[in-house]
Amino acid sequence: MVAELTHFIDGAHVKGTSGRFADVYNPATGEVQARVPLAGQDEMDAAVASAKAAQPGWAATNPQRRARVIMEFVRLLHRDMDKLATALSREHGKTVPDARGDVVRGLEVAEFCIGAPHLLKGEFNEGAGPGIDLYSIRQPVGVAAGITPFNFPAMIPMWKFCPAIACGNAFILKPSERDPSVPLMLAELMIEAGLPKGVLNVVNGDKGAVDAILDHKDIGAVGFVGSTPIAQYVYGRGTASGKRVQCFGGAKNHLIVMPDADMDQVVDALAGAGYGAAGERCMAISVAVPVGEETADRLIEKLAPRVESMKIAPYTDGDDADFGPLVTAEAKKRVLGLIDRGVEEGAKLVVDGRGFKMQGYENGFFVGGCLFDNVTPDMDIYKTEIFGPVLSTVRADSYETALKLATDNEYGNGVAIYTRDGDTARDFVSRVEVGMVGVNVPIPVPLAYYTFGGWKKSAFGDLNQYGPDAFRFYTRTKTVTSRWPSGVKEGAEFHFPS
């Protein structure tokens, strides 16, 4: 039976009224398992009206009480972890352990937001002038919105709405229409945690809903995560309408393998970071850069059998699968096309997973692990974010060549280096022009009390996601200059005060 999903507006599930729907698939079987409504302007207006009405009362709630709601939300996430992970896996296709990680990395940001009372403190200077006190306060922007991608349907929504709500804003979440169930479940948990109705609304939709967010006069801030072309579009249209906007786009993350690296650690790192979640991660390692021919030969010799032996299975097959299917048939078609293109361009396909079929799941969106060698920077498979279980190996003749390769790439999301040499690692960290760097760490996603953000075409806007930057993004600074007259009349001043 095909379920019909809803929006979540003013604290309740609301049926779609636009008459437009999108299919939600089970990626393992290829079958439609639900239909999600695609919002029109009326539905977006209703959500924003609900948020606008609820926001002043929520902002007037003191930060400590707001933090208690987040604290209870964290408790409920722990309670429903397995339920959330299973629902996530069923729509996205990633394994259940990977789905639990998706939830936990969002939960960690929620935990950080419990510290909102401290993070929202302003500054104060007594006696900044004769009888004058000067201080600043941080106030919410009002109604904020988040447009989030399919690949982390729990984590990234929480990266957006948890700090926004902790700051006293109301929030409109527009999740991916490919896997919308978990965002709706998160909204239910926030209400159960004590959040007033209307403070968090979930509106499902496609480009029409995105444009309605970007053009709506009552939305003051917008956060986005997705592909670079759409990030540029959202940033341009949102800022043109006077909004505060932060957008995070695509990536092409490199892992530099120095000759002195522990090759067993490198292979483990590339296996997990390159093929986990079928490569559908913005921080996936998609390019291995061994330095020197001997290093490259050793890497391929060890990595190829590892890729060939990976277990690919649907989430229902237990917790020992390495990765599952891609999210849609279109995603599978795109990935297979890029693999074909790599072969045409002359790259050596050491491990070919294009023919992978799983008995009983022949209609699923599975692609086996693929490993390319002898990839060059002019090839499409190097320049394009594949977003599939495909790793390209680009051989570098020196450390400087490897460093330049990562630095010159148009994306600047994440990068890693594997080495035993502290001088090399320190030099790399200092010189590479990438926003998040790992030293013997393959996926350098910072912990919740730092901040997440890339450089160059991976990010648009001045502030990063979560951490202290999120509290800056979702608040406006108001600076107050205050003097209480002591009864002495000084007369008018016509020169600029100093």
Predicted pLDDT of residue 229: 96
Distance, CA of 328 to CA of 341 (rounded, Å): 20
| Integer CA distances (angstroms), 304 to 254, 313, 327, 382, 416, in order | 18, 19, 25, 19, 20
Predicted pLDDT of residue 498: 66
- Is 495 inside any structural domain? no
DSSP 59-91: HHS-HHHHHHHHHHHHHHHHHTHHHHHHHHHHH
- Is 488 inside any structural domain? no
221-225 β-sheet, strand order: 12-14, 7-9, 200-202, 170-174, 143-147, 221-225, 244-248, 459-460
Are residue 377 and residue 475 in the same domain, yes or no? no
The alpha carbon of residue 127 and the mean position of all alpha carbons in its chain are separated, in whole angstroms, by 44
Are residue 239 and residue 277 in the same domain, yes or no? no
- Is 360 inside any structural domain? yes
Q: Are 269 and 442 in contact (CB under 8 A)?
A: yes
Are residue 282 and residue 415 in the same domain, yes or no? yes
- Nearest CA-CA partner of 33 in 96, 90, 113, 98: 90
Residue type for 433, please?
E
Distance, CA of 389 to CA of 270 (rounded, Å): 11
Q: Are 151 and 124 in contact (CB under 8 A)?
A: no
Are residue 380 and residue 324 in the same domain, yes or no? yes
- Is 452 inside any structural domain? no
The pTM score is 0.94
- Which residues are bridge partners to 370 per DSSP? 390
- Nearest CA-CA partner of 107 in 146, 81, 145, 144: 81
Distance, CA of 303 to CA of 286 (rounded, Å): 14
265: domain range? 253-439
Are residue 230 and residue 186 in the same domain, yes or no? yes
Predicted pLDDT of residue 319: 79
Query: With b meaning 16 or more CB within 10 Å and e meaning fewer, what string describes 18-29?
Result: beebbebbbbbb
Are residue 258 and residue 243 in the same domain, yes or no? no
Are residue 75 and residue 27 in the same domain, yes or no? yes
Are residue 355 and residue 236 in the same domain, yes or no? no
- Is 444 inside any structural domain? no
Rounded average pLDDT per 10-residue block, the chain, 498 residues = 94 96 97 97 97 98 97 98 97 96 97 96 92 95 98 97 98 98 98 98 97 97 97 97 96 97 98 96 96 98 97 88 96 98 98 94 96 98 96 98 97 97 98 97 93 94 94 97 76 71
Report the DSSP pairing between strands 132-140 and 123-129: antiparallel
- Nearest CA-CA partner of 238 in 255, 256, 213: 213
- Nearest CA-CA partner of 349 in 321, 369, 332: 369
Residue 274 three-state SS: helix
Known catalytic residue: 282?
yes
Distance, CA of 399 to CA of 387 (rounded, Å): 27
- Is 271 inside any structural domain? yes
Predicted pLDDT of residue 158: 98
Residue 472 neighbours by CB distance under 10 Å:
18
- Is 451 inside any structural domain? no
Q: Hey, what's the torsion of the CAs at 485, 487, 490, 494, to 10 degrees?
A: 40
Are residue 282 and residue 306 in the same domain, yes or no? yes
Q: How many domains does the chain have?
A: 2
With vertex at residue 209, the alpha carbon angle to CA 177 and CA 90, rounded to the nearest 5 degrees, is: 10
Are residue 339 and residue 430 in the same domain, yes or no? yes
What is the CATH number for 284? 3.40.309.10
What is the CATH number for 209? 3.40.605.10
Residue 418 three-state SS: strand
For the record, the structure tokens of 411 come out as 């994306």
Are residue 281 and residue 239 in the same domain, yes or no? no
Catalytic residue among 113, 162, 167, 282, which? 282
Are residue 371 and residue 462 in the same domain, yes or no? no
- Which residues are bridge partners to 480 per DSSP? 135
Residue type for 354, please?
R
- Is 276 inside any structural domain? yes
For the chain, how many helices (H) and strands (E)?
A: 16, 23
